[in-house]
Structure 1
Amino acid sequence: MPRNSLAQSDLLPGVWREVCRHIEIEASTTAVARAVADHLPLRAVVILRADAESRTVETLACGTSRGGFTPGARTPPLPTATWQKLSKWLRTDEVIDTSSDEQAAWLRSVLPTGFEVDLLAGPLHSGRDSLGILVMVAPPGRPFSADDRELFRRLLEPLTVALENDGRLHELRSLREAAEADRQTLLSRLGRQDLNEDVVGARTGLKHVMERVELVANSDLPVLILGETGTGKEVVSRAIHTRSKRADGPFIRVNCGAIPAELVDSQLFGHEKGSFTGAAQQHQGWFERADRGTLFLDEIGELPLPAQVRLLRVLQDHQIERVGGKSPVHVDVRIVAATHRDLAAMAKDRTFREDLWYRVNVFPILLPTLRERLEDIPALVRHFAQRAATRFGLPAVEPTDSDLRLLSAYAWPGNIRELGAVIDRAAILGGGRSLAVDVALGLGRPQAPPPPASDQATLYEVIPESSVPLEAAPLIAEDEIVPLATAMRQHIERALASTRGRIEGQRGAAAILDINPHTLRARMRKLRIDPTRFRD
């Protein structure tokens, strides 16, 4: 049997075994070098990668029997003409032998230093994708023969697969690192060590809520979470997801009120390339991204009516159609919706579709306000204090009995979200020595006299730079008569809490109070109300 046929029958199956056994290119190259050394005159087997972004060639891996080449060695950026010639060659199956080929000088000019010897080089590519270069270096005084070149050509395919496997491995590692970074960011924002930690108050103020969560979690029924702004609707929705059979799938949160009306369809359902100006590529919407997981539609009452029609169709048929698409796409998504608005009244007023209301209101969960679960304030304060210490790099401090009394006496129009903001502020003001709760609530220093009242509303909202903290509105009993300024302050704060600090627009506090926005700002300045306390 001719030498090359014998070599191929013995060598190629062994090379494929080594390629399939190892997934990292360094291990594959070393194993292939050992196998090839018994059949070919060989000093080294080297895999290189051509980087189009930097126009350089880098040594990725080296398997040697005698001598070696350094992984990580890289050429300087190649001239444009040289790079274009290299790119063209990488899309061919042409093998170059520097001992006899007229392209030897050009090839050495595109390789890192150390390749000024006799070698065989061939492109590694999959379809139109150029992956790299395979190089086999001959020992001194032993050039490659025609049989060697033929055998080298047959090694290009398995080593292309080895390089593809290595690329997929690094891509998975990058995705895993990105996912872990997102997870750590979320844990930091939630102030937790683990996403499966118990919800604060699960055995006290939220006991009834968590009982309903346990009842519905393992089904695929739509859930509607109702409650004032800041009561923890996202936390409860995550609790439903982590206790469900979809816990290993994605959890996607969408703030329906933050999506411009003209972009709702594209964001929720995706779009095809070229479906509208600026659609440069296909885009997956939130429903597709949440496939086999949970889609949390926060503030569902803010969806425009046309989008409500399409959402209803998805809930009925479990299919979406991308903007500009011609065929439906099946999605397997569990819907959890939330709102602080009265959807039943909106359905009656025809500002929310009645049929969609019946679809999402299959299993409602009503969250209590913080005023209704005062027994949870100590645990919540400790939780937020620990979160603040982690986020701001401060020593962890415990609240005092005096701190807890002050916090329990406050009205909390912004509920748990406002409590978290107050504890963050108290932790910073305390400097890691204590929680300056009284100052954070605006009770720790004598109040300066308010600025002179002005009947002339101004166009811009101006908050004076002052070290004097803002005064918190006290809780007013139903039968208690208080000064008009106190009652007005609390009434405006409730409106701001319901709109998350928004003043203007159809959903702003000014519209709720039926007052000109500029006049409202003037009164807020007079009453020393800071709207940023009510914003996310």
Structure 2
Amino acid sequence: MNISKDEFFREVTLRICSSLDIKAALKSCYNYMKEYLPLDFLFLSSIDESMGALRLIACEPESARKEVNEIVPLPKDIWEWQLTLFNPLLADSKNHNPMTVKMASITNNKGKSTLPIPLHIDGKKIGSLALRSLGDGIYNKNHLELVESIIEPFTIALANFLAHQEILSYRDRLIDDNRFLQKELSPQFSDDIIGSLSGLRDVMEQVRSVAPLNNTVLLLGETGAGKEVIANAIHYGSPRSGGPFIKVNCGAIPESLIDSELFGHEKGAFTGASAIKRGRFERSNGGTIFLDEIGELPLQAQVRLLRILQHKELERVGGSKQIPLDIRIIAATHRNLEKMVEEKTFREDLWFRLNVFPINIPPLRSRREDIPALTRYLVNKTSREIGLHTPPAIAVGALDKLTSYPWPGNIRELSNVIEREIIRFKGGVLTFDSITGGHSEPEIQHLPEQNQPETMDKNTASYIRRVLKFTNGRINGKKGAAEIMGLKPSTLRSKMEKLGIAREDF
């Protein structure tokens, strides 16, 4: 059936512009075009420069997707040839161009005739429209002249589709980031870290040295010693302070979800993956990611983390695309990673990559001079949070009591004690008569009158026993021993096992 090029152009243009749904528009074009051209299949593809590949956008009939790959990576010579191909080309076995022969093999096009139509704007290739018919030598110059008339409308349609997809992607990322950051990010760091001129002087000197750089930092210290505060100081004292600061507790994410949560996943990567998800690393692009309790990371995730440290790129679960990353990694742990390497529970190569600039954060008992200032700060902070207009005063001698206590749970335990004291406050002054939450003076106040004080283990064991007695042996949950002490239940159980304390005794 004959038709003029002008009429063919007009009718195809009306159809490709008939719907915002590119698949529906292509279907309308296919049904019309096959009346005037030999046409069994119609493919619309875009150029993916990041992968050096063709990416299928839509095809007709839809069942043809089974015969082609969604993404077709191209060898370097074919890729370069594709980028310079700006005119329609007859491609079948009668065409002895070695590039068309090679392309036919890559796209599973042997025994078929193909009429590829390059789509380009301002000298840049953005994709192609490919007509395909069963059999060799089907297309001729008349067909070629007819399809040349529809290059422009298909180019505009593809360009609009790609621009729309990019806008949707940016919108979704902004919505996603806003929701995530509102939930995850704490208020920005204040320069006035308590102890920076006393017990944390050496730590803060190291922070000031490393903050302006991009080096990986490893923070070492007991649970509750303030590793997150130091991570804040490094991030907000760096050139990345305007970027995201993503905090991850590696021990709080179930092992079955760790890969998806940290590295993201592609749509359809597994059952329930109904949409693309950007992981914590991808969200931190342009900023800093803080990996707390890095020692809890499963070995499988350690392999992925090692790749990020080595190559500054990641691959989502179920994906094949390498996503470049511009991030700084700060890791923290209370565990002995070197010992874990010996026990084969932590990768040695990852340990070497993380241990670039280690900072040891002293426990609170090693910087008792900071306890008075910390106490005043936490009293004021907690009072504001619970709605007290005037923070209560601290009784004479109370600071001495707090300063002499060993604080096995460090600053986190001190914060819990202060919060509990203020909640119970009925007027007068804060006395801290019951540091552990019990009803007796802490035994640390009654040290034996000997030249040699009791060991830290004895004091810690005594404290744990008093707290367990107060909670009737309950470790987990609200008002459990772990919460009162500011420790994770697993950490408390580990301490109990080490000190020979059985929960059943309480």
Question: What is the TM-score normalised by the length of structure 2?
Answer: 0.56
Partner of 1:217: 211
Q: Is contact 1:271-1:284 (8 Å) kept?
A: yes
What residue in structure 1 maps to residue 340 of structure 2?
346
Superimposed CA distance per residue, residues 287-315 of structure 1 (whole angstroms, 9 cap, x where no aligned partner):
00000100000000001111111111110
Q: In the alignment, residue 489 of structure 1 is paired with which amino acid? A: S
Q: 1:180 to 1:389 in 2, by over 3 A?
A: farther
Name 1:227's counterpart in structure 2.
221
Give ranges in structure 2 of 5+ residues lacking alignment: 1-167, 469-474, 476-480
Structure 2: distance between partners of 1:487 and 1:515? 9
Which residue in 1 is equivalent to 2:238?
244
Per the alignment, do residues 258 and 178 of structure 1 end up closer, same or farther by CA in structure 2, a change over 3 Å counting?
Answer: closer
In the alignment, does 2:503 pair up with 1:521? yes
CA distance in 2, matches of 1:308, 1:294: 18
1:410 is the counterpart of 2:444: no
In the alignment, does 2:270 pair up with 1:297?
no
Contact kept, 8 Å, 1:229 with 1:497, in 2: the verdict is no
Distance change (3 Å), C-alpha of 1:174 and 1:280: closer
Residue 390 (structure 1) aligned with residue 384 (structure 2): yes
Distance 2:173 2:493 in 1: 48
Q: Rate the CA distance shift 1:287–1:206 in 2: closer, same or farther, 3 A.
A: same
Which residue of structure 2 aligns with residue 314 of structure 1? 308
Distance in 2, matches of 1:303 and 1:327, equals: 24
Contact 2:294/2:332 (8 A) holds in 1? yes
- Kindly indicate whether the alpha-carbon contact (under 8 Å) linking 1:381 and 1:399 is maintained by their aligned counterparts in 2: no
Assess, with a 3 A threshold, how the Cα gap between structure 1 residues 473 and 326 changes in structure 2: closer, same or farther.
farther
Q: 1:399 deviation in Å? A: 2.3
Please give the per-residue CA displacement for 1:71-104, whole angstroms capped at 9, x wherever unaligned: xxxxxxxxxxxxxxxxxxxxxxxxxxxxxxxxxx
> Does structure 1 residue 509 correspond to structure 2 residue 493?
yes
Q: Distance in 2 between matches of 1:223 and 1:514?
A: 30
Q: Which amino acid aligns with 2:439?
A: P
- Of 409, 420, 424, 2:419 maps to 424
* Residue of structure 2 aligned with 1:474, choices 412, 435, 444: 444
Structure 2 counterpart of 1:220, one-letter code: N
Structure 1 residue 436, shift from structure 2 partner? 3.9
- Between the aligned partners of 1:260 and 1:297, the Cα distance in structure 2 is 15
Change (3 A) 1:211 1:313: same
Aligned partner of residue 430 in structure 1, secondary structure: coil
* SS of residue paired to 2:359: strand
Contact in 1 for aligned 2:221/2:227 (Cα 8 Å): yes
CA distance in 1, matches of 2:424, 2:495: 35
Letter in 1 for 2:410: N
Q: Distance in 1 between matches of 2:407 and 2:461?
A: 16
Q: Deviations over 1:217-267 (max 9, x none)?
A: 011100000001111000000000000000000000000001111111101
> Is contact 1:429-1:435 (8 Å) kept?
no
Matches of 1:389 and 1:258, distance apart in 2: 29
Stretches of 4+ moved more than 4 A in 1? 170-183, 475-478, 484-488, 490-504
Q: Structure 1 pair 508/276, CA: closer, same or farther in 2 (3 Å)?
A: farther
Structure 1: gaps of 5 or more residues? 1-166, 188-193, 443-467, 526-536
Q: Which amino acid aligns with 1:186?
A: S
**Aligned residue type for 1:377:** I
Mapped to 2, the partners of 1:177 and 1:266 lie a distance apart of 20
Q: Percent identity?
A: 44
CA deviation vs aligned residue, 1:435-475 (integer Å, no higher than 9, x gap): 24214445xxxxxxxxxxxxxxxxxxxxxxxxx53764528
Deviation at 1:429, TM superposition (A): 1.7
The Cα of 1:278 is off from its aligned counterpart by 1.0
Displacement of 1:397 in angstroms is 2.7
> How has the CA–CA distance of structure 1 residues 500 and 351 changed in structure 2, closer, same or farther, with 3 Å as cutoff?
farther
Does the Cα contact within 8 Å between 1:231 and 1:415 map onto a contact in 2? Answer: yes
Residues 203/179 of structure 1: CA separation in 2 closer, same or farther (3 Å cut): farther
Contact 2:435–2:442 (8 Å) recurs in 1: no
Instruction: Render the CA deviation track for 1:401-439: whole Å, top value 9, x for unaligned.
Output: 311011011110001111111111111222464324214
Assess if the C-alpha contact under 8 Å between 1:427 and 1:436 holds in 2: no
Count of residue pairs brought into register by the alignment: 320
* Residues 229 and 327 (structure 1), Cα distance of their counterparts in 2 relative to 1, 3 Å cut: same
Give the TM-score taking structure 1 as reference length: 0.53
Counterpart of 1:121 in structure 2 is none
Letter aligned with residue 370 of structure 2: D
1:435 is matched with which residue: 403, 422, 430?
A: 430
Q: CA deviation at 1:180?
A: 9.6
Helix, strand or coil at the partner of 1:437 = coil
Query: Does the CA-based 8 Å contact 1:200-1:379 persist in structure 2?
Result: yes
Mapping 1:255-404, distance limit 5 Å: 255-394=249-388, 395-404=390-399
One-letter amino acid matched to 1:352? F
Deviations 1:127-163 (A, max 9, x none): xxxxxxxxxxxxxxxxxxxxxxxxxxxxxxxxxxxxx
User: Does the aligned pair in 2 maintain the 1:384–1:420 contact within 8 Å?
Assistant: yes
CA distance in 1, matches of 2:284, 2:236: 14
The residue correspondences of 1:108-127 to structure 2 (distance < 5 A) are none
CA RMSD for the aligned pairs?
Answer: 3.7
The code of the aligned residue for 1:405 comes to D
Tell me how far apart the structure 2 counterparts of residues 349 and 377 of structure 1 sit (CA, whole Å): 37
How far apart are the structure 1 equivalents of 2:431 and 2:176? 41
